[in-house]
């Protein structure tokens, strides 16, 4: 199991946001997504429920 993927998982779990985790880890959001996807594939399970945040002005 990759240490960086675990750090990413913990950051996403704590922040409840891929983009916020990216900010605190100083990496891009697509990198966060790729690391979580790779971890999910390794563990053969979905780790997070993905949602899109929309502004209330639509």
CATH fold for the domain made of 3-43: Arc Repressor Mutant, subunit A (1.10.10)
Domain-wise residue ranges, the chain: 3-43
User: If you search the block for the tokens 């990198």, which residue do you land on?
Assistant: 31
> What would the pLDDT profile of 23-50 be if each residue is shown by its tens digit?
999 999 999 999 999 999 999 999 998 8
Greater confidence (15 vs 2) lies with 15
Biggest CA–CA distance in the chain, Å, is 42
Residue 50 has what pLDDT? 86
Choose among 32, 27, 34, 28: nearest CA to 16.
Answer: 32
Please list, in sequence order, all residues whose beta carbon lies within 8 angstroms of the beta carbon of residue 40, skipping any fewer than 6 positions away: 46, 47
Please list, in sequence order, all residues whose beta carbon lies within 8 angstroms of the beta carbon of residue 28, skipping any fewer than 6 positions away: 22
> What would the pLDDT profile of 11-27 be if each residue is shown by its tens digit?
999 999 999 999 999 99
1 pLDDT band, cuts 50/70/90, is: confident
């Amino acid at each position: 199991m990759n240490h960086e993927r675990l750090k990413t998982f913990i950051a996403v779990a704590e922040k409840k946001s891929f983009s916020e985790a990216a900010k605190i880890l100083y990496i891009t959001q697509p990198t966060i997504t790729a690391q979580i996807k790779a971890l999910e594939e390794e563990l053969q399970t979905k780790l997070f429920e993905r949602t899109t945040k929309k502004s209330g002005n639509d």
